[in-house]
Amino acid sequence: MSNNIPQFRDLGLSEPILQSLEELGYETPSPIQAESIPLLLDHCDLLGQAQTGTGKTAAFALPLLNNLDLSSKETQLLVLAPTRELAIQVSEAFQSYARYLKGFHILPIYGGQAMSLQLRQLQRGVQVVVGTPGRVMDHIRRGTLNLKTLAALVLDEADEMLKMGFIDDIEWILEHTPDKRQIALFSATMPEIIRKVAHRHLNNPHEVRIKAKTATVDTTEQFYWLVNGLQKLDALTRILETEESDGLIIFVRTKTSTVELAEKLEARGYISAPLHGDMTQPLRERTVEKLRDGQLDIVVATDVAARGLDVERISHVINYDIPHDTEAYVHRIGRTGRAGRKGKAILFVTNRERRMLRSIERATRQAIKPLTLPSRELVSERRVSKMMEQVNETLINEPLDFFKHIVTDKRHHQTEVDTIDLAAALLFLAQKDRPLQLKEDPVHIHESRQRGERRERGERSGHEPRLKRYSDTNMQRYRLDVGRAHGVMPGNIVGAIANESKSQINNQSIGHIKLFDTYSTVDLPADIHTDTIQHLQKVRVCGRPLKMEQIAGGEHRAGQAGNGNRRR
């Protein structure tokens, strides 16, 4: 890695923000971030030309977060976005970067959301408002959004707002801001009307232009799989079992994730190893050499660790975590399809990440095809086929006299034992740690049970418990750091907890789930081990860690849940 590549620590950001970036896996700033952050930290106005997918959200969010006065609850920063989806996405990014900033509050406001909810939160006080122009204007007119204390304003995707007819609204909002405030305007293109707005309202702006690198990757077939709840590891396992592959690189965002995922794959019988920036150079070189020589099949890597990695036998790149920008994606998939070979790239995408998927398609100039996940039946078929191959090789190549003697002795003493039954029992023992038949996915079980519950509800009256499996259990209520705004459904939560609880919790023992905009609650048995709860803290649903917190006073009998709850 070149010493000329700047680090986030070199840019002047505060320690709490740097800690968040470390956990999120941001290792080096993208070009737009490296140029914009120092200027915005210095309170300069900025005119930025950059495509979606170049990392521009962090380019303005990080420095402007850094400049906030968190001792005040007055609105200090307003971000205007063209769509509800982008407003939510930007708001979530701010929340992620600000996780260690005490007293930080942000509010996304957009049409279609209950005005009463927005009014309550504005009355409590928020330092940052992210909104669409129409709803921001509504609040300014009502007097519920006071811009007198505004220190900075961001116009995100200004050309999109122009196309959608918001330019007059933007001018109106700008006229209601204080004379002395910082403005950052970002646009993929810079039509004349946008320049006129910038000329009228920005004060001696610094101009930053980042030309997005585009690449055609004709030798690499690209696919994406739309993540369903927390089944990424199961999906990855199915793909690994059914794809004809040689060497693989699996990309994740954080150094911690490289170790965790490599360990999980090792437990499933795959020869894998992590590759991240904290490893010593000799150890990194040995890992790459093992991959090159075929001693290692899978490397789980971060972007920085894989820079310059050139191994011809890499047939597949799997983006387990979507990259932060399009350039990182192009770099990642460039690890395969080398030396004239065909390669395959698979991208895991959550609902909230579809926007980045479209940006990647534009950057690579290729449509990325949806991937149909291999069925349980196909995986079982492949496992049986591999087992039979091993049996045939053993029959040909291994000395079996001792084992034949054991079988013959068994048949002699228990003549009623059928040879096929005996072989089946031995096969059962041989596959115990790696079953030839996959169990049904917890989320699919849950959805099936949901359908059954709905049918039952049509036949019942009154308020009797719908499920009696957990009705006599002491339950504890937990708060989860995911909600409706993140695209979460009850089935996602059930799948996550049942899948990752180390067999401590099955889906029948999961109680009431209630979804809110930015968080959820779930009732779980009160006797869950502490280490299971600690493990579930880090489990991700729709791209966000659950961060489970026990709700004080939330212990109750399962049959006595509060009236506000509803069964998932």
* Residue that has been written with the tokens 């059962």 in this structure: 428
By DSSP bridging, strand 182-187 and strand 220-226 are unpaired
Q: What is the CATH number of domain 8-209?
A: 3.40.50.300
Sort strands 206-209 and 314-319 into parallel, antiparallel or unpaired: unpaired
Give DSSP secondary structure letters for 456-489: HHHH--S---S--TTTTSEEEEEEES--GGGT--
pLDDT confidence tier of residue 335, bands split at 50, 70 and 90: confident
If you write DSSP's letter for every residue of 52-85 in order, what string do you get?
A: TTSSHHHHHHHHHHHT--TT--S--EEEE-SSHH
Measured distance CA(225)–CA(349) in Å, rounded: 6
Taking each helix axis from N to C end, the angle separating 232-242 and 376-397, rounded to the nearest 10 degrees, works out to 50
Rounded to 5 degrees, φ, ψ at 524 are -130, 155
Q: Is the pLDDT of residue 434 over 70?
A: no
- Taking domain 220-374, whether its CATH number is 3.40.50.300 is answered by yes
Strands, DSSP E only, in 89-215? 106-109, 128-131, 152-155, 182-187, 206-209
State how far the Cα of 165 lies from the Cα of 161, in Å rounded to an integer: 6
Residue 150 sits at φ, ψ, to 5 deg, of -65, 125
Topology match between the domains 220-374 and 466-560: no
Label residue 81 left, alpha or beta by phi (over 0 means left) and psi (-120 to 50 means alpha): beta
Separation in Å, CA 256 to CA 23, 261, 293, 343, 383: 8, 9, 26, 27, 30
Task: Give the strands of the sheet with 474-480, arranged side by side.
Answer: 513-515, 520-525, 474-480, 549-557
The predicted structure's pLDDT at residue 353: 85
- Of the listed ranges 257-266, 314-323, 518-527, the least confidently predicted one is 518-527
Q: Supply the pLDDT for residue 214.
A: 54
Q: Which of 86, 55, 66, 95 is nearest to 158 (CA)?
A: 86
Q: Are the CB atoms for 338 and 365 separated by under 8 Å?
A: no
Token output for 538: 């880090």
The answer to whether the pTM exceeds 0.95 is no
- How do residues 166-207 score in pLDDT, each as one tens digit? 999 999 999 999 999 999 999 988 899 999 999 999 999 999
How do the domains of the chain map onto residue ranges?
A: 8-209, 220-374, 377-430, 466-560
CA distance 124 to 107: 11
Give Cα separations from 543 to 160, 164, 215 (angstroms).
Answer: 26, 29, 27
Q: What is the pLDDT of residues 224-283, one digit of tens each?
A: 998 865 578 888 988 888 888 888 999 998 888 899 999 988 887 788 999 987 888 888
Structure tokens at 74: 């007055």
What are 338-369's pLDDT values in tens digits? Answer: 766 788 999 999 888 888 898 888 878 788 99
Helices assigned H by DSSP within 143-250: 158-163, 167-175, 192-201, 232-242
Tell whether domain 466-560 is in CATH 3.30.70.330: yes
The residue type found at 19 is Q
**Top-confidence residue, 355 or 19:** 19
- 401-413 helix and 419-430 helix, angle to the nearest 10 degrees: 130
Tokens of 52: 């979606």
295 near 247, Cβ under 8 Å? no
The confidence score (pLDDT) of residue 234 equals: 83
- Per-residue confidence (pLDDT) for residue 465, from 0 to 100: 35
